[in-house]
Structure 1
C-alpha cells in the first residue's frame, strides 16, 4: 500500500489573527513546525493562541488521533515532514487545536492505529525520505505531499499487530520521558563541592 491509501481526509491549517474580532472570534491553539518537538516531549507551554472565524473553527479543529505534518520549512540538514500527534493530553492542556498554514493535518481510515502511523512517519523521517520530495519557493522548502504520499509505501498489517507495536514503543517513550525528567532535575554540582571532593581525595 501507499500512504495515500490509508488517509481518510486532510485538514488544512489556519494561522488566524493575533487578536479577537467579530470576524475571528474563536480562540484556538495553533501548532507550528516549531512546536512539533516540544509536543513530543509533552511541553505544551509555548504553542501560540490565535483567533479564527467560526466557519474555520468548525472545519479545522483537530481531534484525538489526527496527525499534523510540517509541509514548509526545514533547513539544509533538516527536511520537512516532521509530525506531531494530537493526543487527549494535548487537548486537555491547551483546548481546541488547529495547525498553522505551514502544516497540514490528516485523519486515517478505519483499521489503522493513528499512533502506529505516527511512529511510522517518525521512522521514515529519520531515514531522510522526505528530502526526496521537497521543492523550493522564495528560499522556503515545501514538501510535495501528494507526490510523497502516493510514493511512500506502508505495509498492510493487521490492527492487532499495529497495537502490539504501539504498546512497545509507548513503553519506550515513557522511559525516555522519565529519564529526561530525571536529568533535567538533577542538582548542578557547584564549585565549592568540587573543592571539598578534591581536598578529601588529597
Structure 2
C-alpha cells in the first residue's frame, strides 16, 4: 500500500446529484420505476431485482437524472436505530430508472472503478465512520454530504481497483450464497416447528376429542398498570411485573425490571409460579405463550398478559404447546376477525380447544416436544451464529483489501 495516495472522496467524483421523487404515476408526464432506499439490498450492495414504485417525470428531469450502470447510490436521508443512514449501493442496471430524493447519486471520474469505491464506502459505513456525519431532526437522519465527500481514502491505480473489485465480487458472492442457504434452513426449521406442534397438539389434526381450555384451567388477566399509589392507599408499593413484551416467540421469557404499584393482597393474587402459562393478550404479538419453569417471587403480571393455571391432571406445557399450535395454524387470528382491536381476550383463550387426553399422554408428548424443539432451536442457533460469522468475515475481507493490507 506504500504507493497508494490518500485523497478525499470528492476528488474522484465527476458528477453528483440528489434523486427526484417526481409526481404520482399516470399524470401527464412519463412513468418510470423509482428506486427507494427500501429497494437497497444491503448484503449484496445492489438494488433489488424488482423496483415496484412508479413515479412520473418530465423529459427534462429524465434526461438529467436517469440512472446509469456504474452509478453509486448513497442513502442520504432516512435511516433508523439499527440501520443508520449512509449505506452505499452499486447500481448495475437496468438503465433508465430514477431514484428518490432521499438518495444521492455519485458518478466517478475516468480511471476509477465504481465497484471498488462501493466496497470502500461500505467499509467506512460498516466501521461506523459515517455515523459522525449524521444530523438528525424530527426523527429523520440526514447525511452531511459535504463532510461525506471529504472522507479520506487510500486510492490505488485503476488496474488494482479492478482486481480488488473482481476478487471481492467473487468472494462476497460465495459468502452471500452460503448466508442464503443458512437463512433458508432457518426458515425451513421455523416452519417445521409449527407443523410439528400441530401434528402433536392440535386436536383438529390429531383427531382426538377436545374440550375448551377453560374447562381444565383457571384463566385470568393481570393487574391494570398503576404508576403511583392511589389517593389514600398507604399499603401499596412498587413491584416488578411481566408485560407482553417480555413474552418472546418460541417460549422465550426476557425479563426487564419495570415496576408498578400494588398492595400485598394484589401481589398474592397475581404472583406467578412454575407451571403457569402466560399468554400475550393484545398487540402485535398477541397469542404468544410460554410456560414458566420456575417461580417468580415478587413479580406480578399486567392486564395485557393472560395467566393460565392448569387444574389437577393437566400440564401447563401441554396447554402452552397447544396454544402455539393454534397460533401457527392461524386459528387464534381467526378468532379475532371482526374485532375492533385484534387480540386474544381471556374469554377467547378459555374457548380454545385442547385435546382430551390422559396426564400420562400429556407428559409423553411434552417430553417429546421439548426434545424435538430443542434440536430445532440448536440448529437455528448454530445457523444464526454461522451467518453472523460470515457477515463479519465479509466486512473484514473488504477492509483488508480496500485499505491495501492484503494483496490480490
Question: So what's the TM-score if we normalise by structure 2?
Answer: 0.43
Partner residue, 1:12:
18
**Contiguous gaps of at least 5 residues in structure 2:** 1-6, 200-367, 373-408
The question of whether the paired residues in 2 share the 8 Å contact of 1:79 and 1:128 is answered with no
Rounded Cα–Cα distance in structure 2 between residues aligned with 1:19 and 1:41: 25
* TM-superposition CA deviations, 1:113-157 (whole Å, max 9, x none): 01000000110000111111111233321101012212x111121
Rounded Cα–Cα distance in structure 2 between residues aligned with 1:11 and 1:41: 19
**Contiguous gaps of at least 5 residues in structure 1:** none
**Against the structure 1 CA distance between its residues 146 and 47, is the aligned structure 2 distance closer, same or farther, given a 3 Å change threshold?**
farther
Partner residue, 1:62:
67
Which is greater in Rg? 2
The question of whether the paired residues in 1 share the 8 Å contact of 2:19 and 2:99 is answered with yes
1:1-202 to structure 2, matched below 5 A, reads 1-22=7-28, 24-25=29-30, 27-37=31-41, 40=45, 43-87=48-92, 90-91=93-94, 96-150=96-150, 152-183=151-182, 185-186=184-185, 188=189, 189=192, 191=196
Question: So what's the TM-score if we normalise by structure 1?
Answer: 0.82
**Against the structure 1 CA distance between its residues 161 and 50, is the aligned structure 2 distance closer, same or farther, given a 3 Å change threshold?**
same
Give the number of the structure with larger relative contact order, counting CA–CA contacts within 8 Å between residues 6 or more apart.
Answer: 1
The question of whether the paired residues in 1 share the 8 Å contact of 2:134 and 2:141 is answered with yes
Give the length in aligned residue pairs. Answer: 190
The question of whether the paired residues in 2 share the 8 Å contact of 1:32 and 1:47 is answered with no
- How far the C-alpha of 1:76 sits from its partner, in A, is 3.5
Tell me, what secondary structure is at the counterpart of 1:179? helix
Q: Superposition RMSD on alpha carbons, in Å?
A: 2.6
